[in-house]
């Protein structure tokens, strides 16, 4: 049985797209049953709809607290019978309760070689620090931001003359490669928390 996966996005959704493409293969161990966005006009929603995948929007500004927002998301995940959650450019902090509830069943992609460069502006900070390498990490989500155990990482060189944009593009190509692979490992039970 394929694992039922919900993808949470806030924007463009290129990683979401990579997961949807991978999951369209007959032998992939997961199926995407829901794309949930906290931003009503997130670019990724259109692609998901085109592919016939259910989409939902829960805008955090419509909820009184982070906990109320997380409960609303949880209801949508339950309605979709999601078994795994993949955060793909989801730019909201999640409450500890929510994270604990999905412990071992929620993964994230982050554009740095964690534990280096948690948080935002990872590429700018890596360039400014004169790093020779940058990269990306797929990890299990734990209550501390960008802190959970890594499942897969990919490394790319930082090249002379790199800008935030050129480095981001080089890393993004690797994100699209490793995220489907990491989700496969989790769906098959080969990577566990
Ligand atoms: C990706 O680079 C992802 O790693 C990053 O946001 C981008 C989303 O792009 N995520 C984070 O920074 C999470 N802290 P996408 O919407 O095209 O997948």
39 lines ligand 1 (CB under 6 A): no
Q: Rounded to whole angstroms, what are the CA distances from 180 to 26, 88, 138, 145, 170? A: 14, 11, 10, 22, 17
111 lines ligand 1 (CB under 6 A): yes
**DSSP per residue, the chain:** -PEEEEEEESS--HHHHHHHHHHTSTT-SEEEEEEEESSTT-THHHHHHHTT--EEE--GGGSSSHHHHHHHHHHHHHHTT-SEEEESS--S---HHHHHHTTTTEEEEESS-TTSS-SS-HHHHHHHTT-SEEEEEEEE--SSTT-SPEEEEEEEEPPTT--HHHHHHHHHHHHHHHHHHHHHHHHTTSS--
48 lines ligand 1 (CB under 6 A): no
User: Ligand 1 centre from 22 Cα, in Å?
Assistant: 18
* Per-residue pLDDT, 22: 98
What residue ranges define each of the domains in the chain, with the CATH number in brackets? Answer: 3-187 (3.40.50.170)
* Per-residue pLDDT, 127: 98
Q: Could you tell me the pLDDT band of residue 113, with boundaries at 50, 70 and 90?
A: very high
13 lines ligand 1 (CB under 6 A): yes
Q: Please give the Cα distance from 140 to 35 (Å, whole number).
A: 19
Q: Which of 110, 142, 174 to mutate to test the pocket of ligand 1 (most atoms within 8 A of CB)?
A: 110
pTM above 0.85, yes or no: yes
Q: Which of 11, 88, 108, 178 to mutate to test the pocket of ligand 1 (most atoms within 8 A of CB)?
A: 88
* Mean pLDDT of the chain, nearest integer: 97
The whole-number average pLDDT for the span 118-142 is 98
CA nearest to 99, candidates 123, 132, 133, 73: 73
Q: Could you tell me the pLDDT band of residue 132, with boundaries at 50, 70 and 90?
A: very high
The whole-number average pLDDT for the span 166-189 is 98
User: Ligand 1 centre from 2 Cα, in Å?
Assistant: 25
Q: Please give the Cα distance from 168 to 160 (Å, whole number).
A: 14
CB atoms within 10 A of CB 116: 15
* Per-residue pLDDT, 102: 97
* Per-residue pLDDT, 117: 98
88 lines ligand 1 (CB under 6 A): yes
Give per-residue pLDDT as tens, 21-72: 999 999 999 999 999 999 999 999 999 999 999 999 999 889 999 889 999 9
User: Ligand 1 centre from 13 Cα, in Å?
Assistant: 8
For 53-57, 65-69, 135-139, 173-177, which range has the lowest pLDDT when averaged over its residues? 65-69
Q: Please give the Cα distance from 141 to 168 (Å, whole number).
A: 22
* Per-residue pLDDT, 8: 98
Q: 176 an active-site residue?
A: no
């Amino acid at each position: 049985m394929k694992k039922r996966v919900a993808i949470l996005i806030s924007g463009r959704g290129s990683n979401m797209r990579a997961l949807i493409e991978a999951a369209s293969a007959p032998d992939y161990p997961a199926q995407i049953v829901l794309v949930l966005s906290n931003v009503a006009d997130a670019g990724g929603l259109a692609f998901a709809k085109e592919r016939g995948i259910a989409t939902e929007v829960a805008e955090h500004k419509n909820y009184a607290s982070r906990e109320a927002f997380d409960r609303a998301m949880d209801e949508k995940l339950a309605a979709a019978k999601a078994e795994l959650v993949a955060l793909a450019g989801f730019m909201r902090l999640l409450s500890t309760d929510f994270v604990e509830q999905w412990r071992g069943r929620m993964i994230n992609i982050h554009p740095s070689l964690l534990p280096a460069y948690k948080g935002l502006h990872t590429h700018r900070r890596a360039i400014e620090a004169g790093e020779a390498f940058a990269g990306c990490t797929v990890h299990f989500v734990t209550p501390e931001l960008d802190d959970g155990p890594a499942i897969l990482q990919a490394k790319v060189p930082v090249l002379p003359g790199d800008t935030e944009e050129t480095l981001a593009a080089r890393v993004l190509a690797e994100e699209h490669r490793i995220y489907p692979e990491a989700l496969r490992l989790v769906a098959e039970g080969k990577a566990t928390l």
